[in-house]
Amino acid sequence: MSTQLNKKSVARNYAFLAVMLGSMILGSIVGWIFPEVRDANDEVISAGATVLEPLGTLFLNMMFCIVVPMVFSSIAGSVATMKSRKRAGKIMGTTVLTFIITGAIAAVIMIVIMKIFPPVLEPWSTLTEGVVDDPISIPDLIVNFFTVGDFSALLSRSAMLPLIVFSILFGFGVNLGPGPDSLIAKFLTSLSDAMMKVVQLVTYYAPIAFFGFFANLVATYGSQIAQDYARALIVYYPLCFIYIFVAFPLFAWFGGGKGAVKEMFKHIARPAITSLGTCSSVATIPTNMEEAEATGISKDVSEIVVPLGATMHMDGSCFSCILKIVFLFGVFGKPFDSVGDMALMVVVAVLSSVGMSGVPGGGYIGEFIMCSVFFPEQLAIAYPIAITIGNLVDPPATMINSSGDYVVSYVVSRFVDGKDWFQKVLASRNS
């Protein structure tokens, strides 16, 4: 009976995914037929399908209203109810280390591909100066990544990393104070469960939202996908999907062993499509948590890995960072053959990607860091070019970032719950 119910559940999930994919394709067609038209002064003549943007914005705003209390309650509740503080520290330490390693691997892969398929073959002869805001110092940047100046700022989706830091500290405070069996610990757990149910209700609107998202995306950027930009995208987009079908299975196998790859492919479609449609890792947190729970991953693991990954796990952003750097190397006619430059690229890609995916189309801070390191003299020119590429590759980059959060939970489970954790899950299902 349980097997039959499981098959029905999988069928329902994929039926809903088919509807979402159909809405995305339809939206793309509408955006292509009715593009945004601008004159020589870059003034909008015809809005085209960009008028459908509010359909997607409505969904995104609803998700952002949910995600702040959800992230707080899930992380704080998970830490607060842990009987072992050692386990909590082990989960977080393993999670961050895995993020850094996978990000570095992604950066190295992209460097190799860029050596084989450079996106810009000839330097650009004519460039116009862009406008760059006043730069922020590196120390201030670090402070802003982890803290905010006032408690009310934690309620903003733009402060996801500070919110996560506060949630962890609050969870430890409850664990050390009232204790894991206290009323407040139970309240946090109940609040997390309630927020997940709210997410399920909002998800019913997703197909309409995805139609609006993709109609606006294609209508806005379809005309810009040409020449060097097109060459960059032709390399980048297939790479992201290859990464899902090559790297992700390896991570899942390493984390869960026999049968884990099949299980991963059964559950990764929803996070991948949701993140591709919304261009937001934060908006995909609820979907990732649902799929992790359905997989059998320990709740305390998923409730730490997934929200933390939405801010810090950026394999796709590491891909795009290397693409932007190499693209600009070509634009300015700078040779791309120094081992030192390549090593620095990996470091910058990993570091500048932290905190990038919390906001749709995010990465402006990371792009500024990247440009200030490699192109300080051409910053005003390089920065707008990098932003343009970032906007064009944002959907698949976010897809890799967000769906990878779910896959990383396999790896963390291996080190926290043992090598045979997935086999135990399978055994419990069959019992």
CA distance 24 to 260: 29
Structure confidence at residue 158 as a pLDDT band (50, 70, 90): low
The confidence score (pLDDT) of residue 261 equals 92
User: Across residues 400-404, what is the average pLDDT?
Assistant: 87
CA distance 210 to 212: 5
The confidence score (pLDDT) of residue 109 equals 92
CA distance 132 to 382: 10
Question: Is residue 5 a contact partner of residue 190, using CB atoms and an 8 Å limit?
Answer: no
51: number of Cβ within 10 Å: 15
CA distance 136 to 144: 10
The confidence score (pLDDT) of residue 250 equals 93
- Residue 301: is its pLDDT beyond 90? no
- Residue 118: is its pLDDT beyond 70? yes
Structure confidence at residue 430 as a pLDDT band (50, 70, 90): confident
Question: Is residue 313 a contact partner of residue 405, using CB atoms and an 8 Å limit?
Answer: yes
* CB contact burial 187-216 (16+ within 10 A = b; e otherwise): ebbebbeebbebbeeebeebbbbbbbbbbb
For tokens 């809405």, the residue is 23
CA distance 87 to 306: 17
CA distance 284 to 277: 10
Count Cα neighbours of 171 within 13 Å in the Cβ-side half-sphere: 28
CA distance 186 to 66: 19
Separation in Å, CA 26 to CA 13, 37, 164, 213, 360: 20, 20, 37, 11, 21
Q: Give 132's DSSP letter.
A: -
CA distance 175 to 169: 10
Highest mean pLDDT among 172-176, 217-221, 394-398: 172-176
Summarize pLDDT for 53-96 with one digit per residue, the tens.
898 888 878 877 887 888 788 878 878 887 766 777 788 788 87
Count of residues for the chain?
Answer: 431
How confident is the prediction for the chain on average, in pLDDT?
A: 79
User: Across residues 332-342, what is the average pLDDT?
Assistant: 80
Structure confidence at residue 111 as a pLDDT band (50, 70, 90): very high
Query: Where do runs of H (alpha helix) occur along 34-84?
Result: 53-80
The confidence score (pLDDT) of residue 145 equals 65
Separation in Å, CA 272 to CA 378, 398, 402, 406, 407: 36, 9, 7, 10, 11
CA distance 154 to 156: 5
Structure confidence at residue 141 as a pLDDT band (50, 70, 90): low
- Residue 125: is its pLDDT beyond 70? no
- Residue 183: is its pLDDT beyond 90? yes
Q: Which neighbouring-strand residues pair with 44?
A: 38
Q: Which neighbouring-strand residues pair with 60?
A: none
3-state secondary structure of 280: coil
Question: What is the token pair recorded at 78?
Answer: 């998970």
Question: With 0-12 CB in 10 A as exposed, 13-18 as middle and 19+ as buried, what is 246?
Answer: exposed
Q: Give 281's DSSP letter.
A: T
- Residue 270: is its pLDDT beyond 70? yes
Task: For residue 269, give the nearest of 15, 51, 4, 78 by alpha carbon.
Answer: 15
- Amino acid type, 23: S
User: Across residues 396-419, what is the average pLDDT?
Assistant: 88
- Residue 304: is its pLDDT beyond 50? yes
Summarize pLDDT for 14-42 with one digit per residue, the tens.
577 678 778 878 988 898 899 888 777 77
Structure confidence at residue 225 as a pLDDT band (50, 70, 90): low
Q: Which neighbouring-strand residues pair with 46?
A: 37
For domain 16-430, give the fold. Proton glutamate symport protein (1.10.3860)
Separation in Å, CA 146 to CA 159, 163, 213, 311: 8, 8, 31, 11
Summarize pLDDT for 279-295 with one digit per residue, the tens.
777 778 888 888 998 89
Work out the percent of the chain whose per-residue pLDDT is above 90.
Answer: 10
Q: Give 377's DSSP letter.
A: T
For tokens 């570091």, the residue is 351
0.85 exceeded by the pTM?
no
Least confident window among 155-169, 180-194, 239-253, 399-413? 155-169
H/E stretch holding 385: helix 379-417
